[in-house]
Structure 1
Amino acid sequence: MPGFDLRAALRHRELLLAAAIAVLLGAIAARFPGFVAPANLFGVFNDSAILIVMALGQAAVILTRSIDLSVAANVALTGMVVALLDAHHPGLPLALLIGVALLQGLGLGAINGWFVWKVGIPPIVVTLGTLTIYRGLAFVLSGGAWINSFQFSQSFLALPRAVVLGLPVLSWIAVAVVAVMAVVFGRSPVGRAWYAVGGNPTAAVYAGIDAGRARFLAFCLSGLLSGLCGYLWVSRYAVAYVDVASGFELDVIAACVIGGVSIAGGIGTVWGTLLGALFLGIIKNALPVIAVSPFAQMAISGAVIIAAVTLNTRAERKAGRIILRPVAGLPGRADRAPARATP
């Protein structure tokens, strides 16, 4: 009987992850049947909507062998700016505020991308620095004060909660972003460039792809979606303060990794990222229900991330490339095993 081939199985990562989600839901339902009620599952999806949107932006960055640690700080700063605008100028149209959030998020992402592309600073260093800068700017703008629900206009708070065809607008925004990203990743030149740059940067350059520009555009996308989530976060939770989404960048990266996006670049899909975010969202919603302590929740989440990285690494490991073969007719050569070199 042939042995189990892990790498072959992990080629169908989305199917395995969907099966893992089904098993997880079944285990939870055995103890709390109400958790898998359709209304509750829709609620879990709505709770995971912001994570899904941000994870798709992060996935584009990771595909290019980069990482964006500033996404949560982008959310905090952008959310603070639109919250201050709405609180002090309640007559401003909601469309204008959302436009400000998108443009500011795009600008913050472009700053990261410019330093990576034009200055040549490693992405982890750039985004670790801008993470601190963006948080600091949020404090400077607000003076450390909170903006609470009674200071917001009703239109500002209403949009994410409005229900259309049985789902909140927040959920529909996540669905729309998934649909758009499926086209961008799979059928657009920039999506193909991200995969090429992450898979083999040297070959991508020979193919005429500007690797720096591709990374810059990935950071711009990540910033744009983070800016959108800045408005969504503040309006949904009806509060803005400096530490909004603190540490959330780790959840965003975890969703990508669990969904099969390779930290080494060049591997990952929109659907895998979506499932990774949902898997993480289910865990975070289910663990409090079964009375798991917050500290144990952190340990479980960390264990899941390590397991996902381990599986990704094993699946991506390539066999050595044969560079020497036995030559027939030469004495002493026929019985030698071919030498192998790692790629």
Structure 2
Amino acid sequence: MSAQTAAPDAPVVEAGAEARRRTDVIFRVRELGIVGALGLLILVTALIEPRFVEADSLRNLALNASIFAILAAGQTLVLITRNVDLSVSSVLALSAFMAGTLLSDHPSLPIPIVFLLGMGLGAAAGALNGFLVTFGRVPALVVTLGTLYAFRGLAFLWTDGRQVNAETLPDSFLNIGTGTILGIPTLALIALVVVLIVGQYLRDFRSGRELYAIGSSPEAARLAGVRTDRRVLSAFVIAGALAGLGGVLFTARFGTVDATAGNGYEFTVIAAAVVGGVTINGGSGSVYGAAIGAVLLGTITSSLIVLKVDSFWQQAAVGALLITAIAFDRWIGLRLDAALRQRSARRAG
């Protein structure tokens, strides 16, 4: 009896495993393709303007992409669950100004405390987003669009027209944003550590893998015993904490901070994740691809600036890349569905 019951489920399980294997292969190829495109872009730009590959230029590329990579890591967690967080740039602004204010008023304050407070502020903002999405049953797009403006408004109220200047910040803190370790920018190393930790979490921890299950089918995940509300809430909290970390690093990188810090970052971060293979419909993608996407977008912008291309075309290039990535995701989904249907038909025949 049990053998007869188990038999019909075997093809379904095998088909699901086959779909996952095919998806993994496709997205690994896609990530390699992004790396190839990045290398080609750097090569072409270097041939036209050799100074583009000088040490200082490459260092600036790494610095500019680092904060976006950290934000993209957090955004990946949210996108995988079939949600989105538009408020990351405003959370970054609040955290950046808080870090600058604390260190300006209390230069002897231990820097790790500032980082913890910044991440705590971001986590609190993420918890608010997650609570409204999971328990308030409000779509994430609506919630985070509202908090995008609400948090930015708080930033303007808090700053009251003031700004933090680099002269008032301790050199030990500013060195985090501009210094190097063994020739590698400290900021880039921090971003690398964050990406590796988030990537390990998604791959090796049950709660991380459950995020993919939620994004693939929230109802099926719920029926399988996954605590979907708790997992989605945790994704928003982690994304907020990483946005808070990005805000502290923003202050260390640029020194001068006001209420407009990070304005518009949310769209670049989402674009980086999607271009890197994180599907907007949830359930697939990796944080490594998102980080590579952040580097690619940053390199495109820097390359077009070096080549003296008008800013309009810089934005158009990013938009075209984003549309291409979304269309590619849709194409992959259709091909996988068709392949699975054919496989099921052959088995039935």
Q: Provide the TM-score with structure 2 as the length reference.
A: 0.87
Mapped pair 1:180 → 2:197:
yes
Which of residues 212, 219, 229 is equivalent to 1:202?
219
Mapped pair 1:238 → 2:259:
no
2:62 and 2:160 map into 1 onto residues whose CA distance is 34
CA contact (8 A) 1:10 1:315 kept: no
Mapped pair 1:111 → 2:119:
no
2:169 and 2:248 map into 1 onto residues whose CA distance is 12
Q: After alignment, is 82-91 or 100-109 more displaced?
A: 82-91
Residue 221 of structure 1 corresponds to which residue in structure 2?
A: 238
**1:96 to partner: Cα distance:** 1.4
1:138 and 1:316 map into 2 onto residues whose CA distance is 41
Which of residues 135, 138, 141 is equivalent to 1:124?
141
Mapped pair 1:151 → 2:168:
yes
Question: Could you list the runs of 5+ residues in structure 2 that have no partner in the other structure?
Answer: 1-22
Task: Say if 1:180 and 1:131 are closer, same or farther in 2 by CA, change over 3 A.
Answer: same
Residue 270 of structure 2 corresponds to which residue in structure 1?
A: 253
**1:34 to partner: Cα distance:** 3.0
CA contact (8 A) 1:185 1:192 kept: yes
**1:21 to partner: Cα distance:** 1.5
Q: After alignment, is 198-207 or 313-322 more displaced?
A: 313-322
CA contact (8 A) 2:177 2:254 kept: no
Q: After alignment, is 100-109 or 58-67 more displaced?
A: 100-109
| 3-state SS of 1:159 partner | helix
Task: Say if 1:88 and 1:208 are closer, same or farther in 2 by CA, change over 3 A.
Answer: same
| 3-state SS of 1:119 partner | coil
CA contact (8 A) 2:81 2:211 kept: yes
Residue 93 of structure 2 corresponds to which residue in structure 1?
A: 76
Question: Could you list the runs of 5+ residues in structure 1 that have no partner in the other structure?
Answer: 1-6, 327-337, 339-343
**1:207 to partner: Cα distance:** 1.4
Mapped pair 1:301 → 2:301:
no
Query: Identity over aligned residues, as a percent?
Result: 36
1:166 and 1:95 map into 2 onto residues whose CA distance is 23
1:141 and 1:189 map into 2 onto residues whose CA distance is 40
1:46 and 1:155 map into 2 onto residues whose CA distance is 17
2:107 and 2:28 map into 1 onto residues whose CA distance is 52
Task: Say if 1:38 and 1:83 are closer, same or farther in 2 by CA, change over 3 A.
Answer: closer
Task: Say if 1:121 and 1:274 are closer, same or farther in 2 by CA, change over 3 A.
Answer: same
CA deviations 1:303-330 (Å, max 9, x no partner) are 11111111111112222848x989xxxx
Residue 330 of structure 1 corresponds to which residue in structure 2?
A: none
**1:270 to partner: Cα distance:** 2.0
Which of residues 270, 283, 293 is equivalent to 1:266?
283
2:26 and 2:203 map into 1 onto residues whose CA distance is 22
CA deviations 1:20-43 (Å, max 9, x no partner) are 212222221221233234553343
What amino acid is the match of 1:62? L
CA deviations 1:142-199 (Å, max 9, x no partner) are 1121121222232332222222111121111011112111211111112101100001
CA deviations 1:94-122 (Å, max 9, x no partner) are 12111110111111111111111111111
**1:129 to partner: Cα distance:** 0.9
1:283 and 1:303 map into 2 onto residues whose CA distance is 12
Residue 335 of structure 1 corresponds to which residue in structure 2?
A: none
What amino acid is the match of 1:216? L
Q: After alignment, is 28-37 or 200-209 more displaced?
A: 28-37
**1:18 to partner: Cα distance:** 1.5
- Between Structure 1 and Structure 2, whose CA radius of gyration is higher? 1
**1:78 to partner: Cα distance:** 1.0
Residue 30 of structure 1 corresponds to which residue in structure 2?
A: 47
Mapped pair 1:276 → 2:293:
yes
1:92 and 1:126 map into 2 onto residues whose CA distance is 35
Higher fraction of helix: 2
Mapped pair 1:134 → 2:141:
no
CA contact (8 A) 1:255 1:277 kept: yes
Residue 6 of structure 2 corresponds to which residue in structure 1?
A: none
1:89 and 1:179 map into 2 onto residues whose CA distance is 33
1:10 and 1:48 map into 2 onto residues whose CA distance is 22
Count the aligned residue pairs: 322
Q: Provide the TM-score with structure 1 as the length reference.
A: 0.88
- Aligned-residue CA RMSD in angstroms? 2.2
CA contact (8 A) 2:72 2:287 kept: no
Which of residues 117, 128, 149 is equivalent to 1:100?
117
1:159 and 1:321 map into 2 onto residues whose CA distance is 53
